Chains A and B, each alone.
Chain A
Amino acid sequence: MKLNIAWARELVATRASAEYLADRLIHTSSELEDTILWPKLLESVVVGEVTTVTRHENAQRLNVLTVSTGNKNHTIVCGGTNVATGIKVALALPGAELHPQSGNCIQIKATTIRGTESAGMVCAQEELGFPPGAAGEIWILPPTATPGMPLHQYLGLTDAVLDLEITPNRPDLLSHLGLAREIAAFERKPLREPTVLSIDSSSKRLPHLVEMVVQGKETAHKAASLSFTVLPNAKTPAVAIGRLYAAGIKTVHPVVDATNYVMLELGQPLHAYDHQLLSRGSEHTTLTVTSLSKATEFTGLDGKVYQLESGDTVVMEGDRIVALGGILGGAETAIHKDTTEVTIESVCFAAPAIRRASRRLGLRSEASLRSEKGTDQELVVTALKRIAELLVLWKIAEPSSKISDTKAARHERAHISVSVQDITQQLGMNLSIPDAKHILQSLGFRTVSTTKSSLVCIPPSWRADVVQLEDCIEEIGRMWGYDRIPASPMTSSGRAPIPNNTWILTAKLRAGLVASGYSEVQLQPFVSEEALNRFSIPVSTAVRLNNPFSANAAYLSPTGMLTHLISVAADQASDTHFHFETAHRFVTKDGKPSERNTLSIIAHSDELPVTLHNDVSAAIALALQSAAIPTKLSWSNNGRTSSISDSISGLTLGEARLLSSTELQQWKIRRGKSVLCVEIDLDTLLSLGTQNHIYEPATTFPQVSRDISLALQGCSWSDLETIIHKKRPVLLQNYTLHSKAVLDKTLVVTIRCIYGTDRTLTDTEVTTAHDALIAQLQKVSGVTIR
């Protein structure tokens, strides 16, 4: 909402600077998005009068004008197609800096155009930062303009225009009156409501009555109409033009301009029909606001054809749709330059239907913006009386009927009780009832009863958002000033917080992985069906979005392995990636989407798979250790895939994949030989809990270590472990994989066995035990002792 400060000063007598008012508005209701200083933007732009027009000698489409600014004549080369002697124009003198809405700043200098000196520029509206006029034409000002007068003064744009962000709960602030009311409240100044023309409904019967009818509560709350006869030589006054332009609204026709003016002033959209086109000569015309029962076409006054749907709110005359309610008038009854009789309609529409239609059709006008948020039904008649006042004052039109209005929809207004205690409990500060009462009254609330410790108030008709105590507290708090509410320290809740183990352990796992040289990533989860197929994930197990951005991002990846792979493939700059991510994953289970917590890892480098696996498994082991999760992971051997489980409980914890060279090519991973990825289900892993380690005293008896080297062919480490666990000699206290190497394409492992007991062992005892273990391991097929 663009608040014209000069306009606001008519509604509230304040001398405070625009800057100060902006700051107070920020602190009480609306964020400031921009400040537009027209006096500065229109510096060195003045009213000029064209006294001569001659064709440029060297250019067919250019004219050389003499433009008078009262006491001085300027020679200006101009390309406008509508120049003529005697017209008043906006003349930008050398030194002016123009800021069109589209495009760059224009610096005006005295220059020579095709051999003729030009001392400035005669401007079109658009060049001045105003809404565009007709293409190729310069802006012709009203004939009353005084040559030499600075343009911003002529247009009444003498102060700042504040572009304010109005929150959706405050449609009443989409008007100068509404914002002036806020200013009046914090400035403690009276609000001066705009004057209206009193139209005596009992006076002589005027000929052009158009009766308003509302069908259904879902269409409108109240509607009214008033007809006028347009006066000859009607012109929109300069100040009105300035105010419309500063709001970004084009001038169209003096009557239409007045409807827009009233909308900006009061917040009530009005629509003007050509009365003759509307009534088609009939004495009794009825306009019905109704809900459309079936889809149909409608031609708007912009000449475009719109597809209306059943349920759209429309205004009908007979069986014709003459307007799309609150959004756009129809072409058939639109005002044109020869219109002599007009009917102005004022309706408080039911917002939801307007919002639906304007969104669907992509029609967001200044009118729809207000109607779709809900207007004040008590403004419906006031707005008509206000436009009557303006049309008469501006000599644009005279009323030719009385006002026809419908009965207002019943509107129960809440009686809200506010006590000192309520204010203290909510805001944490003490405020007296007289202070609270003053704030509420200055915002238009009525107080129906007041005691020392409480009051009962009724919110005004334009504050549909205020329905209960907390809404009133907000009004009191914001007008008192949030900055004046004390900032108090937190009081004790009286209980100790319960730690969230999932959160704590996940953070420890992350820290463990980082310590092992893994970088955390945050990846978008959206993948294509093709990616799922390529990674052999059944599409039926993935969760599909109903409204994806594109088919390429229609699914949520059920595994982090896939999103890692996609992002690694996208980072062609690196040939190594050691990444991990902790995230929620989504899968379709029994036809329903479900969610789980996961840890996924990718390792990508030039190393052999065995090295990558060592890297990943060591990192996971360290992470598990740093989180003190009591588990020993067991990785199964299934060729290129592995299932990871907890060897203690047997629970499956996750899976791992080693990509083949063909797969790497498919994923276009050109650098780095091996890619290994892992996903672990954190919900299951963390269900194992944490372990409090019980420390034992260091043994005083020496331990003896003996190594065995074994070559493995067609046999895996886990096969060896199975045997060690089954046939474990009593004296074997521990064993570790001491080293591993690939020799002649055969994996050679060295197991270090630690023997010991609660006394000192003899060499023979150790040898016997160790030989027994070797004998058992030798029985495993594919094992050769080295």
Chain B
Amino acid sequence: MSNANHPLSLEVLTRLKSGEARSRIRESILGKNGRFKVLLRELGTLPGADRQAANTKLQSLRTHLEHLLEDVPSNTTSTVDLDWSLPPTPQRTGSLHPITAMIEEMVGIFSELSFEVVEGNELVSVAENFDNLNIKPHHPARDGHDTFYITEEILLRTQTTAVQVCELKKRHQSQDLPFRVVVPGRTYRREADATHSPMFHQLDAVVVDQNATFAELKGVMQYFAQRLFGDEVETRFRPHHFPFTEPSAELDVRLKNAPAGSRLADWLELGGCGMIHPDVLRRAGISPRTYRGWAFGMSIERPVMIRHRITDLRQLFSAENQFLQQSHIILP
């Protein structure tokens, strides 16, 4: 029993990697007709005392060998028929519309700033959509070229700002001031081409507070733009005119290191904003000397088109699976 003349040294055994080879060797040594069985059988030929000593040695060697050869890691690939790299069987997957996803994201940002969500009606009165917002009867926006009328008095809202004065009144009457709301929803205008849809979406953010200032409007909208487009975004507030805000501004955004082809490489108008016009506050019964407010309004489609690089707005309003389910296709 010397290691030197044995073809299988212990070192060789410990270095055996292949599970198959190990089990073959195990069989050949410890198996039914293995060498160990032969050795054990040969024990009988030894004299009593030697037999006892040899047996002890043999049993200890056996335990050692069993330990060495037993701890074979089971290599299943060779024996189990499983291709781990297979993709899953296609299952029907659903998707949220990119407009809804955008609205939910934006509402989420405002919700974190304690804004409450108000949706309002889409059928509104001429007063709600226009008069209350200082849009006078002869204003071009009021004629039939831009607005869908149901009756002379009722129309499909052309802006989510139509919710504003009703909400202001309601809050004032229920002594629910100050307040901050975000108003997402559908709006309608009588125009249709690659960049205009008769039905589209807007989002307004409105704050009424004794401490509301233009500086706060700037701070909140900068934060909003950063959350939406990332920290690389730059913002620019540019004077503009809206009948229902004074002072008024437009918010432009651009990215410092815009990716190639991005429309955010240059300044892009994100939305309009300003301090709520004192006459709008007065119309709701709120004194502009006690409370001030600011409002921001934007279209949802524009950031959706920028983010997803959609060039034809009309695609957003189709039911084409090829369009809707693109978000599931991931190419390397």
Measured CB to CB, the residues of A under 8 A from B are 26-31, 167-170, 352, 355-356, 359, 424-429, 468-471, 473-474, 477-478, 482-483, 485-500, 502-503, 507, 510-511, 513-526, 543-549, 553, 556, 564, 567-568, 570-571, 573-574, 576-579, 583-584, 586, 593-595
Q: How far is the CA of A337 from the CA of B240 in the complex (A)?
A: 44
On chain A, the residues within 8 Å of B216 by CB distance are 428, 488-491
Interface positions of B from 227 to 253, Cβ below 8 Å from A:
236-241, 246-250
Q: Are A500 and B118 in contact (CB under 8 A)?
A: yes
Interface stretch (choices B19-27, B29-37, B61-69, B190-198): B190-198
Q: Are A525 and B199 in contact (CB under 8 A)?
A: yes
Q: Are A578 and B215 in contact (CB under 8 A)?
A: no
A-B contact pairs, 17 of them (CB 8 A): A31-B238, A355-B138, A356-B138, A473-B247, A474-B247, A474-B248, A490-B223, A494-B178, A495-B178, A502-B119, A519-B321, A520-B96, A546-B149, A549-B190, A586-B122, A593-B123, A594-B123
Q: How far is the CA of A306 from the CA of B10 in the complex (A)?
A: 113
Q: Are A483 and B121 in contact (CB under 8 A)?
A: no
Distance between B36 CB and nearest chain A CB, rounded to angstroms: 51
| Of A167, A428, A553, most B-chain CB atoms within 10 Å | A428
- Indicate whether A359 sits within 8 Å of B140 (C-beta atoms), given known contacts A427-B215, A520-B95, A524-B317: yes
On chain B, the residues within 8 Å of A516 by CB distance are 94
Q: Are A500 and B319 in contact (CB under 8 A)?
A: no
Measured CB to CB, the residues of B under 8 A from A are 91-97, 99-100, 104, 107, 111, 113-119, 121-123, 138, 140, 143-144, 147-152, 154, 156, 178-180, 186, 190, 192, 197-199, 201, 209, 211, 213-216, 218-220, 222-223, 236-241, 246-250, 275, 277-278, 288, 292, 316-322, 324-325
Q: How far is the CA of A517 from the CA of B115 in the complex (A)?
A: 32
Q: How far is the CA of A553 from the CA of B237 in the complex (A)?
A: 39
Q: Are B116 and A488 in contact (CB under 8 A)?
A: no
Interface of B is mostly: mixed
Q: Which residue of A lies closest to B320 (CB)?
A: A571
Q: Are B214 and A485 in contact (CB under 8 A)?
A: yes
Q: Which residue of B lies closest to A518 (CB)?
A: B94
Distance between B35 CB and nearest chain A CB, rounded to angstroms: 55
Q: Which of B180, B215, B277 contacts A488 (CB 8 A)?
A: B215
| Of A427, A474, A494, A577, most B-chain CB atoms within 10 Å | A474
Q: How far is the CA of A493 from the CA of B209 in the complex (A)?
A: 7
Distance between B279 CB and nearest chain A CB, rounded to angstroms: 8
Q: Which of A167, A426, A548 contacts B214 (CB 8 A)?
A: A426
Q: How far is the CA of A540 from the CA of B119 in the complex (A)?
A: 27
On chain B, the residues within 8 Å of A595 by CB distance are 121-123
Q: Which residue of A lies closest to B151 (CB)?
A: A546
- Indicate whether A503 sits within 8 Å of B119 (C-beta atoms), given known contacts A469-B278, A478-B247, A497-B111: yes
Number of A-B contacts (CB under 8 A): 226
Q: Which residue of A lies closest to B246 (CB)?
A: A470
Distance between B177 CB and nearest chain A CB, rounded to angstroms: 9
Distance between A33 CB and nearest chain B CB, rounded to angstroms: 12
Q: Are B94 and A514 in contact (CB under 8 A)?
A: yes
- Indicate whether A520 sits within 8 Å of B237 (C-beta atoms), given known contacts A488-B213, A571-B318, A593-B150: no
Q: How far is the CA of A579 from the CA of B114 in the complex (A)?
A: 33
On chain B, the residues within 8 Å of A564 by CB distance are 319
On chain B, the residues within 8 Å of A428 by CB distance are 213-216
Q: Which residue of B lies closest to A523 (CB)?
A: B317
On chain B, the residues within 8 Å of A474 by CB distance are 239, 246-248
On chain A, the residues within 8 Å of B190 by CB distance are 547, 549
Q: Are A521 and B111 in contact (CB under 8 A)?
A: no
Q: How far is the CA of A579 from the CA of B201 in the complex (A)?
A: 20
Q: How far is the CA of A409 from the CA of B99 in the complex (A)?
A: 52
Q: Which of A490, A568, A584, A586 contacts B220 (CB 8 A)?
A: A490
Q: How far is the CA of A520 from the CA of B248 in the complex (A)?
A: 36
Q: Are B240 and A497 in contact (CB under 8 A)?
A: no
Beyond A427-B213, A545-B148, 4 additional contacts (C-beta under 8 Å) are A352-B138, A519-B325, A571-B319, A576-B92
Q: How far is the CA of A522 from the CA of B321 in the complex (A)?
A: 13
- Indicate whether A493 sits within 8 Å of B150 (C-beta atoms), given known contacts A488-B218, A549-B192, A578-B92: no
On chain A, the residues within 8 Å of B223 by CB distance are 489-490
Q: Are B96 and A485 in contact (CB under 8 A)?
A: no
On chain A, the residues within 8 Å of B288 by CB distance are 470
Distance between A587 CB and nearest chain B CB, rounded to angstroms: 11
Q: How far is the CA of A593 from the CA of B236 in the complex (A)?
A: 42
On chain B, the residues within 8 Å of A500 by CB distance are 116-119
Q: Which of A26, A485, A503, A578 contacts B238 (CB 8 A)?
A: A26
Q: Are B97 and A521 in contact (CB under 8 A)?
A: yes
Counting from the closest, the 4 A-B pairs by CB-CB distance are A428-B215, A428-B213, A474-B247, A567-B319
Q: How far is the CA of A30 from the CA of B215 in the complex (A)?
A: 21
Q: Are A545 and B97 in contact (CB under 8 A)?
A: no
Q: How far is the CA of A259 from the CA of B318 in the complex (A)?
A: 53
Q: How far is the CA of A170 from the CA of B278 in the complex (A)?
A: 19
- Indicate whether A568 sits within 8 Å of B319 (C-beta atoms), given known contacts A483-B237, A488-B213, A488-B215: yes
Q: Which residue of B lies closest to A543 (CB)?
A: B150
Q: Are A470 and B277 in contact (CB under 8 A)?
A: yes
Q: Are A429 and B215 in contact (CB under 8 A)?
A: yes
Q: How far is the CA of A41 from the CA of B96 in the complex (A)?
A: 49
On chain A, the residues within 8 Å of B179 by CB distance are 493
Q: Which of A471, A482, A490 contacts B246 (CB 8 A)?
A: A471
Q: Are B180 and A493 in contact (CB under 8 A)?
A: yes
Q: Are A167 and B95 in contact (CB under 8 A)?
A: no
Q: Which residue of B lies closest to A506 (CB)?
A: B119
Q: How far is the CA of A583 from the CA of B103 in the complex (A)?
A: 14
Q: Are A517 and B247 in contact (CB under 8 A)?
A: no
Q: Which residue of A lies closest to B237 (CB)?
A: A482
Q: Are A520 and B94 in contact (CB under 8 A)?
A: yes
Q: Are A522 and B292 in contact (CB under 8 A)?
A: no
On chain B, the residues within 8 Å of A352 by CB distance are 138
On chain B, the residues within 8 Å of A490 by CB distance are 113, 216, 219-220, 223
Q: Are A488 and B94 in contact (CB under 8 A)?
A: no
| Of B115, B154, B211, B292, most A-chain CB atoms within 10 Å | B211
Q: Which of B94, B144, B239 contacts A513 (CB 8 A)?
A: B94
Q: Are A470 and B275 in contact (CB under 8 A)?
A: yes
